[in-house]
Amino acid sequence: MLARGSAAFVLLPALGMVASLAAALAFSSVAALYAGLPLGVLFLFAVVFFRDPERVPGRGVVSPADGRILAADPDRRTLTVFMNLTNVHVNRAPWAGRISRMTYSPGGHAPAYRAEAARNERLETVLDTDVGQFRITQVAGVFARRIVPYRREGDRVNKGARVGMIRFGSRVELALPRGVRIVAGVGDRVRAGETTVAEVDRGPR
């Protein structure tokens, strides 16, 4: 399955590749054949990058993104997941609830793993739940120029539901409510919607 909003990125190189191959066959043109090779590579990259596999929600609070945990602060109840180019870039809800606010902020495009990325383009989504308020912040990276939301304010989402994606390298920051304990650590590899990153010490699990 491909992520929403990815059709142009996948279809354009595919059409160009097919056109080059057709020209190579029709005119016995080696040049047209070679011209189609980079487009074929681009097509394969787009298919891999924009993949959107189905996920079964894990227990507790689940990761909002695929990738590696870049920072985890149990005292402030915050964690950051860095997504590289090979990760799935569709982001998911860490807990079931209602989206009460979405705030977009323009900014720079520093590499997402650096501290300067705190001033990057971002979209903060506030999720009101039965255990408190979660804040999911999608942060654009050096190659990511577009944050694509799948939801609107007022929408209700289940745990593990898709909430949006960031094109190319980027990161997602998650702020947790009181009563939620982080169990994941820096360097852990996580999968959006599946990997448990925190446990709820009160309320339903």
Q: Which amino acid is at 44?
A: L
Q: Could you tell me which residues come within 8 angstroms of residue 151 by beta carbon, excluding any fewer than 6 positions away? A: 99, 102, 125, 157, 163, 164
Which helix or strand (DSSP H or E) is residue 13 part of?
A: helix 7-27
20 catalytic per annotation = no
Kindly tell me the burial class for residue 154, based on how many C-beta atoms sit within 10 Å of its own C-beta (0-12, 13-18, 19 or more): exposed
Asked if 134 and 176 count as a contact pair (C-beta separation under 8 A), the reply is: yes
Write the secondary structure of 33-77 as one string of H (helix), E (strand) and C (coil): HHHHHHHHHHHHHHHHHCECCCCCCCCCEECCCCEEEEEEECCCC
State how beta strands 180-182 and 162-166 pair. Answer: unpaired
Return d(Cα 47, Cα 123) in angstroms, integer.
25
Q: From the candidates 6, 20, 63, 170, which is the catalytic residue?
A: 170
Catalytically annotated residues:
170
